[in-house]
Amino acid sequence: MGEEDMNERYMPLAATIVVFLAIYAFGAAAYNNFLSTLVFGDLLTDNAFVIIAAIGATFVILSGGIDLSVGSMIGFVSVAMAALDAQGWHPLLSALLLVSFGAVFGGAMGALIDACDIQPFILTLAAMFLLRGLCFVITLDSLPINHPFVAAFSDWRIPLPGDGRLSASALLMLAALAAGIVLAHFTRFGANVYAIGGDRNSARLMGAPIRRTMIQVYGLGGFYGALAGVAYAFYTGSGYPLAAVGVELDAIAAVVLGGTLLTGGVGYVAGTLFGGLIQGTIQTLITFDGRLTSWWTKIVIGALLFFFITAQRSIMRSTALMRHPA
């Protein structure tokens, strides 16, 4: 891969970082205390579970797939943890069980997608309805998680300069991010994911284990989705059957805003962090303003998504023309 190709691959990530810095700079200029460590720490905490889910979605999208079951997985895990808490389970034990379930469930989706040649959109849509239905089988109401460990987890903080603090949820998210970066960019598995997303036929001819990698990709996506559910349960201290409805779209938006191409093969896990923070920063700006409803977050994110997708398409077309002039 030439230096010009590398520069092109970094352009979406660079654009994401520039957009995030521009939005954050606007907030700092418009509102007092916006630049404080308190606001930044809360930004990481409030968006931790969405970013964790988006990290898993990054691998799926890099492979050329999609996963619509993430939001339902978060809701199911939170409800199951609350139900197990009522039975006397320790939250860490139930978290371990449910994260393992998420990995196995995701791996099963990957196996079916590859073995039966099913469109990921269709299969993961079915999984979304299945998991959401299981939430209502467990309970129709919100269930509290009363174990003292959950309260201790929520209250635990690392002080930052100023009045800020880094919560346990934020640290969990950063650890998940670091693990995702290592897997994507420093392992054979990551190389296979990029190869399959770039050109599946070429990857097959090069000897990449397509089926095994697809099982691993969706298993990893399920693992991160379940881990996001654990983070959500710890963050809210409860489980609710309608929790995280639509979060799968927020996760996909974070991936796209982070510079990963929906067609697969191009993107960086680190970009997903900034994509999630862009969404969180916009919501924080609206909260600081006080005059706008939260729906303006969706409007602004929709406009940004339109910009990013069209910009990515333009870059791909210009790159193709440079390589294969008419």
- pLDDT for 242 beyond 90: yes
Model confidence pLDDT, tens digit, residues 280-322: 999 899 888 877 777 777 888 888 888 878 776 676 666 555 5
Segments forming the whole domain that contains residue 209: 3-323
DSSP E strand boundaries for the chain:
143-144, 157-159, 165-167, 238-239
Q: Record the tokens describing residue 10, joined without a space.
A: 């970094």
Beta bridge partners of 159: 165
Q: Token pair for residue 270?
A: 């680190």
Q: What per-residue confidence (pLDDT) applies to 254?
A: 95
CATH number of the domain within which 275 lies:
1.10.3470
pLDDT digit string, tens, across residues 11-52: 778 888 999 999 999 999 988 889 899 999 999 999 999 999
Q: 213-227, 237-251, 269-283, 304-318: which has the minimum mean pLDDT?
A: 304-318
pLDDT attached to residue 299: 86
pLDDT digits (tens, 9 = 90+) for 92-140: 999 999 999 999 999 999 999 999 999 999 999 999 999 999 999 999 9
Q: What is the pLDDT of residue 227?
A: 98
Query: What single letter denotes the amino acid at residue 42?
Result: D
Residue 61 pLDDT grade (very low, low, confident, very high; cuts 50, 70, 90): very high
CB 267 within 8 A of CB 255: yes
- pLDDT value of position 280: 93
At residue 19, what are phi and psi to the nearest 5 degrees?
A: -65, -45
Quick one: CA torsion of 132, 138, 141, 144, rounded to 10 degrees?
A: -110
- Do 38 and 208 meet the contact criterion of CB atoms below 8 Å apart? no
Q: How far apart are CA 298 and CA 295, in angstroms?
A: 5
CB count within 10 Å of CB 195 equals 20
For the record, the structure tokens of 180 come out as: 């995702």
> Quick one: tokens of 9?
């691959």
Residue 261 DSSP SS3: coil
How many other C-beta atoms lie within 10 A of the C-beta of residue 230? 25
Q: Which amino acid is at 243?
A: A
Number of domains in the chain: 1
How many other C-beta atoms can be found within 10 angstroms of the C-beta atom of residue 188? Answer: 10
Q: Is the pTM of this model over 0.85?
A: yes
What is the reported pLDDT for 294? 72
pLDDT at residue number 312: 67
Say yes or no to pLDDT of 6 above 80. Answer: no
